[in-house]
Amino acid sequence: MNYFDQKNDTICALSTASGMGAIAVIRISGAAAFEITNRIFTKNIAEVPSHSAHFGRIKNAAGEIIDEVLLTVLKEGRSFTGENTVEIACHGSTYIQQQILQLLLTSGCRMAQPGEFTMRAFLNGKMDLSQAEAVADLISSESKKAHEIAMNQMRGGFSSELNDLREKLIHFASLVELELDFAEEDVEFADRTELKALVSEVLAYIQRLMKSFELGNAIKNGVPVAIVGAPNTGKSTLLNQLLGEERAIVSNIAGTTRDVIEETLNIEGIIFRLIDTAGIREGAEAIEAIGIEKSKQKIDQAQLVVLMSDYSENESHHEGHSTMSTDETVVWAKQLQQIYPTKKFIVLANKMDMRPSANTLEEDDNLKILAISAKKGLGIEEFKKWLVDQIQAGFDVSQETIVTNVRHVEALEKAAFSLQQAKDGLVTQVTGDFIAMDIRQAMFHLGSITGSISTDDLLGNIFAKFCIGK
Amino acid sequence: MNYFDQKNDTICALSTASGMGAIAVIRISGAAAFEITNRIFTKNIAEVPSHSAHFGRIKNAAGEIIDEVLLTVLKEGRSFTGENTVEIACHGSTYIQQQILQLLLTSGCRMAQPGEFTMRAFLNGKMDLSQAEAVADLISSESKKAHEIAMNQMRGGFSSELNDLREKLIHFASLVELELDFAEEDVEFADRTELKALVSEVLAYIQRLMKSFELGNAIKNGVPVAIVGAPNTGKSTLLNQLLGEERAIVSNIAGTTRDVIEETLNIEGIIFRLIDTAGIREGAEAIEAIGIEKSKQKIDQAQLVVLMSDYSENESHHEGHSTMSTDETVVWAKQLQQIYPTKKFIVLANKMDMRPSANTLEEDDNLKILAISAKKGLGIEEFKKWLVDQIQAGFDVSQETIVTNVRHVEALEKAAFSLQQAKDGLVTQVTGDFIAMDIRQAMFHLGSITGSISTDDLLGNIFAKFCIGK
């Protein structure tokens, strides 16, 4: 696929979700958008003003009516892509959608590639690259936090921070380069102490952005959580307790729910994805062996691990059935912490309501142990708070820029590497031309994020991941 | 649900297909549509002209930006519903869709019931009832013919025929009733012979419409077809031959195909639904017993029955494996015709390419027998023509009105019954007041189709079947 040979084509695509709906929207963009539309529409839209809507009929070459539609005209410079654009709101049958697209193809349009509308918006200077990428993130955002970050990025929040950084570096580089012009005179225009402070400041800032990706990625893709434990510790009760309220919210608005409801939890706007809960839901745990192997597989995929344990003092229960006490589970957790040092663990001491004595759990600095009753809903709020804290600690999502894009992190890493080199160079007193080169390199990488520096290959890669119609 | 207590509410719904897309459209309709929109939109749309589009931001009460949207304003009398209407084209994430709907609900809208937009169009005189029903048919139309019929009906084709009929009956009734006014004088204003001819004409026309429902229903819902036969007769080869081309067409336009491709054939715009082909596709026929019981179940559901037979002269094949010759299959077919007199049968004499002698099949007036080679594609076109002929024979879909709606057929049946009574009354010389009553009754039933006569219950039933957002 090469977008660039054909950037003057007029393109079309279904822009609404596929399938049957009351209405569907087909978008056309390009220089010939109005001319092509006039070939199939019963009204002449050549001279109508921008941002006007027109009711009329779509007809094929044989004069057969395909549909009655509401068509919106957006003129060059005032549309999303920056090009002449027509949006056709037709009846939402898949047959009609296909017929109109077919008709557009035979009338001079070409099917848009994934992301091609947004790429044109970028190429026409309507937005920079990180803003364009945010459009895709916005469309796929499933939670308040993911939406907030994407919206901030789309509206240029991240771009303006990057531009601030670049300006600081430009200032820096120009001082160093000025020095070079007078190299023979051995003059130091730039105060090296001040330069060091400036590079350190920019570097620290970039490192904070890099670190934010951990949170950003969790918010964008959801946090994988494993709930494991011996049978009869109450995993399915916990799951029902957690999902109970959630389900009600999801089905609140008719027409917007999805066919398959994943086992996910949305807590304070962060999506937690519960790994392989199918068995738990079906109550299979009762007949399941402790299944160490299966637990390991789940823990491998998880970022947060919840270990369920039986904290009741029901001794007959302990003996008669296979369950696992909290003390035993804490031992297990500590073994797991050795094996998985980067994952975060919590032991839930379940069935606290069935424990007559009010003795408290021992505090443990290295492992969170929390008494709950999944059945009675005790301790659940504190458990949720623990989940959120593991992800959000140290960041204020609504205030600070959070990086969510792998490409951006990679560019930031490269920029940080070059800045570190420049900083080292200042310490070891290398000549200004090397330092200037490092700084220019850092600026190049920062520029690749917003697309002020870009290549066709890069753009192709980015936009190919979009859905068609955007 | 009662639509009628709340017909002054302002309603909203997602109007595009549910799920994620590049964009989604939320529709708002009602007297307060502009006022409510102004509460959440960054531009004031109170005074803008109808059919104008506006780019701006949706904000919640806390001032957080939910999305950047393109919003189209359609004023009372010029919109689909006839009411003030706003269409919000937002980014197509389910999160954003839900947020905007939530915001509209808290700002004074109520969620639309299924079909409520179209019902308002009817109540506001934008279309009659049969046209409104055609909107739902249009949205669910999957084939050219179904689309053609729905489009004709939506554009008032059926309604105008019904109005012609009603006018003829009004003329008739007024003549009969005039006679009643002069009953004591024993005058006959209406020429009874002429009246009889008129009633017969209208009755014949209604009966043709009733009969068209057989075709209309097949076009709207697809024609169920059973392919049955002994193992090794080539059922799966036939299926692959039939579906081969089809599949390619379906996947032609990216973004419009559906996740699950049914085993359906679209021949000349009519959808043929192949019953339970799962076993055939997987080649299970080889290990399957003849399965008389299973065949019967399939035939029960079918309108057309295709019996596969082995027409090759490969005797060893006949003996070694369980297959069934064409002669044997014809005997079977004739038994089935006795059991299922309303279904249509064809015997396919498959593997004609493996028959060295060129002897022809015996003609049979009561049973179609067709030599084919599923493997080599011989006779397939003639087979398809047979399928289409069974459905289309006697009707010109592009010219004549085809009834597709059960409610309409029922109303037509009632009207026909009353007209038959009137006709009988003319023969047996009953008094004019009885005849006039029958004619009025017939007119009532015809009127119920277009909704010139309607009740709240009737409307509730009709529109509840619509999808939300239309």
Partner residue facing A52 (CB), from B27, B52, B147: B52
B397 falls within a domain: no
B399 falls within a domain: no
- The whole-number pLDDT of residue A266 equals 85
CB-based contact, B48 to chain A, within 8 Å:
no
Cβ contact (<8 Å) for A16 and B14? no
Same domain for A10 and A107, yes or no, is yes
- Residue B430 tokens read as 């009953």
Cβ contact (<8 Å) for A142 and B94? yes
A467 falls within a domain: no
Contact in structure between B177 and B365 (CB atoms under 8 Å): no
Same domain for B43 and B169, yes or no, is no
C-alpha B11/C-alpha B109 separation (Å) is: 5
CB-based contact, B60 to chain A, within 8 Å:
no
Partner residue facing A25 (CB), from B13, B16, B98: B16
**Distance in angstroms between the alpha carbons of the first and the last residue of chain A:** 17
Instruction: Answer with the one of A93, A128, A163 that is the final residue of a domain.
Output: A128
Query: Which one of B26, B67, B81, B93 would you mutate to disrupt binding with A, by most A Cβ within 10 Å of its Cβ?
Result: B93
C-alpha angle A389-A390-A396 in degrees, rounded to nearest 5:
55
- The whole-number pLDDT of residue A392 equals 81
φ and ψ at B128, to 5 degrees?
-90, 180
Neighbouring residues of A176: CB distance < 8 A, sequence distance ≥ 6 = A190, A195, A432, A435, A436, A439
Same domain for B238 and B384, yes or no, is yes
C-alpha B173/C-alpha B161 separation (Å) is: 18
Partner residue facing A51 (CB), from B53, B139, B469: B53
A400 falls within a domain: no
What CATH number is associated with residue A356? 3.40.50.300
B416 falls within a domain: yes
- Residue B77 tokens read as 């009398």
Residue B139: its chain A contacts at CB < 8 A?
20-22, 91-93
- The whole-number pLDDT of residue B259 equals 31
Structural domain boundaries, residue A81: 3-128
- The whole-number pLDDT of residue B255 equals 34
- The whole-number pLDDT of residue A228 equals 87
Partner residue facing A22 (CB), from B15, B21, B255: B15
Predicted confidence (pLDDT) per residue in B62-113, tens digit:
999 999 999 999 999 999 999 999 999 999 998 999 999 999 999 999 999 9
Please tell me the distance in Å from A80's CA to the nearest CA on chain B.
10
DSSP state of A56: E
Residue A468: its chain B contacts at CB < 8 A?
22, 254-255
Partner residue facing B95 (CB), from A20, A141, A468: A141
Residue A151: its chain B contacts at CB < 8 A?
65, 67
C-alpha A110/C-alpha A33 separation (Å) is: 11
Same domain for A214 and A241, yes or no, is no
Same domain for B39 and B75, yes or no, is yes
CB-based contact, B51 to chain A, within 8 Å:
yes
Same domain for A199 and A103, yes or no, is no
- Residue B431 tokens read as 């008094």
Residue B86: its chain A contacts at CB < 8 A?
none
A134 falls within a domain: no
Partner residue facing A53 (CB), from B52, B98, B155: B52
- Residue B245 tokens read as 């081309």
Those residues of chain B that have pLDDT short of 50 are: 1, 246-262, 279, 281-290, 315-316, 318, 320
A461 falls within a domain: no
Cβ contact (<8 Å) for A93 and B140? yes
Same domain for B12 and B56, yes or no, is yes
Please tell me the distance in Å from B255's CA to the nearest CA on chain A.
6
> Can you give the pLDDT of all 470 residues of chain A as single tens digits?
455 567 789 999 999 998 889 999 999 999 999 999 999 999 999 999 999 999 999 999 999 999 999 999 999 999 999 999 999 999 999 899 999 999 999 999 999 998 999 999 999 999 999 999 999 999 888 888 889 899 989 998 899 999 999 888 888 887 777 776 665 666 665 677 888 888 999 999 999 999 888 888 888 888 889 988 877 788 888 888 888 754 433 333 333 333 333 478 888 888 898 886 654 544 444 334 445 666 787 888 888 999 999 888 764 454 545 678 888 889 989 999 999 998 999 999 998 888 876 666 777 888 999 999 988 989 999 999 999 998 887 777 666 789 999 999 999 999 999 999 999 998 888 878 888 889 989 999 999 999 887 777 778 777 877 777 78
What CATH number is associated with residue B61? 3.30.1360.120
Same domain for B108 and B161, yes or no, is no
Contact in structure between A191 and A179 (CB atoms under 8 Å): no
CA-based nearest residue in chain B for residue A15: B22
Same domain for B314 and B445, yes or no, is no
Query: Mutual orientation of helices A456-464 and A116-123 as an angle, nearest 10°?
Result: 140
Same domain for B232 and B213, yes or no, is no
Residue A467: its chain B contacts at CB < 8 A?
20-22
- The whole-number pLDDT of residue A175 equals 76
Predicted confidence (pLDDT) per residue in B291-307, tens digit:
566 678 788 888 899 99
- The whole-number pLDDT of residue A187 equals 60
- The whole-number pLDDT of residue A361 equals 76
B457 falls within a domain: no
Contact in structure between B30 and B84 (CB atoms under 8 Å): yes
Domain count, chain A: 3
What CATH number is associated with residue B187? 1.20.120.430
CB-based contact, A146 to chain B, within 8 Å:
yes
Same domain for B376 and B422, yes or no, is no
What burial class does residue B10 get, using C-beta atoms within 10 Å of its C-beta: 0-12 exposed, 13-18 middle, 19+ buried? buried
Contact in structure between A112 and A12 (CB atoms under 8 Å): yes
Q: Which of residues 94-113 of B touch A (CB under 8 A)?
A: 94-99, 101-102, 111
Same domain for A373 and A261, yes or no, is yes
Closest to B441 measured CA to CA, from B427, B456, B425:
B425
Q: What is the pTM of this model?
A: 0.76
Residue B93: its chain A contacts at CB < 8 A?
138-142, 147
- The whole-number pLDDT of residue B296 equals 80
